[in-house]
Each structure stands twice: as C-alpha cells, then as structure tokens.
Amino acid sequence: MTLPDAAPDILLAPWTTPFEAPPFDLIRPEQFVPAFAVAMRTHLAEVAAIADSPEPPDFANTIEALERSGRALGRVGAVFSNLVLSLGGPELEAVDREMSPLLAQHGMRVSLDAGLFARVDALHAGRAALGLETDQMRLLERMHRGHLRSGAGLAPAARARMSAISERLAMLHTQFGQNVLHDEKAWHLGVGAGDLAGLPDFVRDGARQAAADRGLDGHAITLSRSLIEPFLTYSDRRDLRRVAYEAWTRRGMHEGPHDNRVLIPEILALRAEQARLLGYPDFAAFRLADTMAGTPEAAEGLLREVWEPARRKAAAERDRLLAVARSEGHNGTLEAWDWRYYAERVRAADYAVDSAAIKPYFVLERIQQAAFDTAGRLFGLEFMPRPDVPVYHPDVHAYEVRDAAGHVGLFLADHYARGDKRSGAWMSSYRDQEAFDGAVAPIIVNNNNFVKSTPTLLSFDDARTLFHEFGHALHGLLSQVRYPLQSGTSVKRDFVEFPSQVFEHWMELPETLRTHALHHETAAPLPDAMIERLLAARGHNQGFGTVEFTASALIDLALHRHQDPAGIDIEAFERTFLEEIGMPPEIGLRHRPAHFQHLFAGGGYAAGYYSYMWSEVLDADGFDAFREAADPFDPLVAARLRTVLSAGDTEDPMRLYVGFRGRPPSLAALLEGRDLIAA
C-alpha cells in the first residue's frame, strides 16, 4: 500500500476544545491513514536525530529525547485505538486491518534501530555513574529492557525475523478480535411471548431493547454478557438456555472466514519463536520474566494453591444445586447451561436473596455516583459534568475531575452495549498524565456493556464491574509522574489489576449500599435486612467462579508453554487439558480459546491471565489495612493507597505495595474472601 503524503489537519493540529479533548465531531475514519503516515514519518525523523547525533549519549539527549519523540503518533494512535473498540463499524475496522501491520512494523523499526540501541545500551552500562534520580534510573532500566525484549540485542537476521513476527501477529490479533465481534453481531435468539417464562422485567426490557436495536419486533437475546448471563440465570426454558449457552461458548468456532481455531496455532507458534530467539524456552517464560511473578512456575503455583479448594467447594455447590433441581422435578444431570439457573434458586433458598428483587435498587447513574463519591471521600476528587466536551457517541458522558489543587483530568463514561462496540468492560486513555515539559492532564475512559433501558438497572455483579473499571480509571487519573512511559497503568501486568480490584470493596460497604442503592421508583434505600443477606451471600457460588476463572488462567499458561504450538488442534487440546486438571463437567471455561480475546486479540494478557488472581492476593490483603484501621475511609491509609496509585511505574511494584501495607501480601485474605478456607 502507498500511504498518502498529506494528512487532514484535525488529528495533528492543536485542539482548541475544552481541555484539548479530541474533537470527535470533526474526526472521520478516512482521516486516520494519512494522519498515521505523517505521524510515523515525523517519529522516524525524531528517532534518527537521536540515533545519529554526534554528541556522546547522555540521559537528556537520548532517554529524555526518546520520551519527547512520537507525540503526534501517540495522539493519533490513542484516538484511533479507542474508537475502534468503543465505536467500531466497518470503516474503522477496515482501517484497523490496514494499519495494524504497518504500526507494528513501525514500532519494531524504532525498537530495533541499531544506533539508537547502542546509545541506550551505553547509558545502561554506565548508569551507576550518571547520578540519576529514582524515576530516571527506573526509566533507563525499563527502556533498556524493553529494547532487549524487542530483539535489539540480536544479530541482524534475528532482528529482521522479530520484526516480521511482530507484523504478522498484529494482523492476526486484529483478525481474531474482529472474528469474535462478527459472531457476536451475527447471532441472536428471538424469543416470543411464550418463551419469557422466569425472566424478570429487567431482562425482558433488555431483550426488547436488543430486538429494537437490531430492527426486530418482540424480544431478542444477544451474546452481550450483560444480557445472556441474566437469561441463563432466570429463563425457565432449559432448551433455550442450552441454545444460548452453546452459541455464547462457540464464538470464534464456526467454519469459514471467521474461524479463530485456525488462527490460534499460528499465533502461539509465532510467540514461541519470539521467545526462542530471545533465549527463553517458551513464551510463558519470556512473558513472566518481566512480571511480579517472575516465572510460570510461580504463577501456576498460585493458581494450583486455590484450584483444589475451589474444586472441593464447587463440588459441594453442585450437590446443593442438584438437590434443589431434584425438588423442582429435574431428574437429569446438571449441565453447564443449568448452573446459573439453579445457583440463583439456591441463593434465594439459602440466603433469602432474590437477585431480581435487588436489581431495582441498582440504578446505573446512582452506582456511578457511588463510585464518584467514594473517590471523593478517599482522595478528595470531585466529578463535574461537562456537556461542552465533545464525545464520540451520545451515550458517552464527560466529567471534569478536580481536587483541592484544581484540574486533575477528564473522565469519559461509556456504559452501554452497542452492536459495533467490543464486548466486555475496560479502561483506556486518550491522553496520559505526565509532567516532563509541563503538566499534562489525563483523559480517561471507562467502557462497559450494560443493556440500555429506562432506567438502566444493574446486577450486583454489574455494579462491581463498574467499580472495578473505575478503579483502573483512578489509577490513570491520580498518576503523578514525570515521564510518559511511566504514567498511570503503565505498570507490570500482574500489578495493574490491584487498583481496580481493591476499589471493588467499597461498592460492597453497607454505607455505600444504604446511600446509593435506592429503588428506581420509590427512592427507598435497600433495606438493612436485605443488605445483610446480600453480604452474607458473598461466598455463594465462589467455588464455581474460582474454578471458571482458574481453569482459564491455567490453560493460558499451558498453551504458551506448549512445545509444538503450530500443531495444536485447539479443541482436542482443550478437552484433554480439562480432563487432566479435573475440570468439573458442569462448569465451562470462563473464556474458551477461540474467543479468549485477552490472549489472542492482542498480546497484553498472553501468558498473563493469571494476573487477576495475583492482583486479588494484593487487593484482598490490601483492603484489610482499612479494616485494621476500623475505618474504610481512614485518611492515613487512603493517603498511602493514593501514593501507590500516583506512582505509576516509577518504582518496583512490590516495593510500592510494601510501602502501603508495611509488609508483603498474604494469601489468607484471598482464601477467606472467596470462602475457600474450609473447602
């Protein structure tokens, strides 16, 4: 492809919008390719000036110069990557397919530049004599390590191969994600008036809205998690639950042009080749060498430590589910499409908790305000609506974030599912905080996929998800670092989930629920008796949840340690692996490989899905600091937590955690929180 020589000004010129937010109303898909062309050329010129400089390398003319380079490319790339996920559509998807290999090629060209690496390497070798501050030393060390892990220290032929692998993987990752999205958009289950038995009003309303969004009459169940999970939980129609469950779990597994099963072996083989070129026995060893865990054995050890207690608890849960099923006339086996349905009946029978009766108290806007208020009490933040800030879709709401010192950043909330939007929930940024050449305030976005209705009611798990992603947002908003490479969530993968997971605890506080869980019709607060029962039921179904997650984390490590990945029959491998670990047949993987986007729609969580559990050790132990202070908003503990959130990657994460907690983390709080101690 020949890239145009000119690019529309809008993506590259200074933005005059409030807070210099992206002018979404002026941005069009066709502007990105020429904008990328200009930005990449500019970046290469900047890198060449550093690499070819006749001056001896020093921290300012090499490391800091690199931090200043590529700003235009970073800005265009941030807008594009976020819009691809949050807005989507055929035009952006086409640009993504076109640009992903070119951007990967560009990134490797910079990382593998021999002259540039020689300067970084020389500085690293003499770093002890440079008189660097703590954040500068870590920046140099992390930048040097990043170049080495990209292949900069390899022979020319190996460097070229690393570049080719990166380019091919970028294409495969994009194709994998688009294939999953295709299957999610292509499938729906039409349900007539006679098929709604058992479904509470909020599920019926969501199904009606989903049908309308697709131009259909009546009701439709789609593969959005926020719709299909409630359907599996409440539908009395076992036959329809099976149809929906099988469609959900077979995303990416349909023969033809959207079959992800044929992509996985190539992705795994290319990653394994990368690892071998860099001297590692497999990709898992390569990936985990740069994490808190350090080795695949350490990560798997944590997972195995919870696996057997989780299996035992799940077996007890299965027996209880079967007892209820038998009492209701079900005489067959318990299948995967039955578990959520009977688990809800057990919750009602054993804890007097009816999720459908609780949901009217969890109104989206009020739960979002609960997250805002929690951040205010902990960190002194205020969130003010800014309708004057341009947004990319009418569903998106913009807020200015302030504290006692003034402007902190912008927060964008994008909570609703849409046909072209990626499924799941995530946090991202349009601009990262830095203070290198002057203060730069962040622009942070939270994406969820709640079913839109009037009002939008959340489940307890939905509310927890909102708090989880908002915890990530706080990590980005509270960042106080000098250099862009160290900003916000730019930390080791198995530490990045700590801020998000620890923030979930505040959603479950009785005082949060009393204040913000208000009935959408009467504004009456969630009754104290219901709160007590709800919190007492937190251990309910934890065996299922832990097994479902841990099996996915274990298969991730196994796939990335496989010695012949190119020859994998992914379905046969999955069957054999689940038999070997003793996976309960009534429980499915949280993510089957063919739609496991954490692993294969990008490389961020490849051989790293375990990190949610690793971070849960930190978050469960970390929240105990507030319990020990006998105040969930204790100002001294909150100040120590803010230090962790503001530090980004300026220090080793374990050092940051010990500074917050006063000691290394303990597994005990996690086992207690998941009700696995007695299992």
Task: Fill in the amino acid letter for 536.
Answer: A
Q: Active-site positions?
A: 469
Query: Coil, helix or strand for 328?
Result: coil
Cα 409 to Cα 124: distance, rounded to the nearest angstrom = 34
- Residue 551 tokens read as 């099996």
Other beta carbons within 10 angstroms of residue 521's beta carbon come to 8
Name every residue whose Cβ is closer than 8 Å to that of residue 657 and which is 6 or more positions away in sequence: 495, 498, 618, 622, 644, 664, 665
User: What are 457's strand-pairing partners?
Assistant: 363
Count Cβ atoms below 10 Å from residue 631 Cβ, excluding itself.
Answer: 12
β-sheet with 397-403: strand ranges across: 382-385, 397-403, 406-416, 443-450, 426-431
Closest C-alpha to 223, from 570, 490, 488, 597: 597
Distance of CA 666 to the CA centre of its chain: 24
Beta carbons within 8 Å of 337's beta carbon, 6+ residues apart: 232, 238, 241, 242, 244, 245, 246
**Contact in structure between 489 and 645 (CB atoms under 8 Å):** no
- Rounded to 5°, the CA angle 475-465-423 comes to 100
Determine the Cα–Cα distance for residues 627 and 625; give it in Å rounded to an integer.
Answer: 5
Distance between alpha carbon 618 and the CA centroid of its chain, in Å? 17
CA distance 298 to 448: 32
Residue 518 bridge partners (DSSP): 525
Alpha carbons 443 and 413: distance in angstroms, whole number: 11
